[in-house]
Amino acid sequence: MKNEIVKGSIIKLKDRYAEGELKGFYRITSIRGQYANLGSIFGGHIYHKRVPLEWLIECESEWYERWSKSETYMCM
């Protein structure tokens, strides 16, 4: 089952597009047509603009699994 990508979704880039500074997890800050802006998960900083939606995969459960094992999360 494929999850729909909407504003506020936590995503990562498909392996073939994830290079250099595009690696990691992002939150969709806006969607305009077939493009999205990618920002920080916590906070309001936008890192990348006009990234094609076809490059993205919704992965909130994968991100949460990693986040819940982090030292930052454990110290909360």
Tell me what pLDDT residue 2 has. Answer: 59
The ranges assigned to domains in the chain are: 10-74
Within the chain, residue ranges assigned H as helices are 60-68, 71-74
Tell me what pLDDT residue 59 has. Answer: 94
> What is the pLDDT confidence band of residue 76, given thresholds at 50, 70 and 90?
confident
CA dihedral 8, 10, 16, 20 (to 10 degrees): 90
- Residues 9-47: pLDDT tens digits? 999 988 777 776 778 899 999 999 999 999 999 998 999
Tell me what pLDDT residue 19 has. Answer: 72
Beta-strand pair 10-13/35-39: unpaired
Residue 53 has pLDDT above 70, yes or no: yes
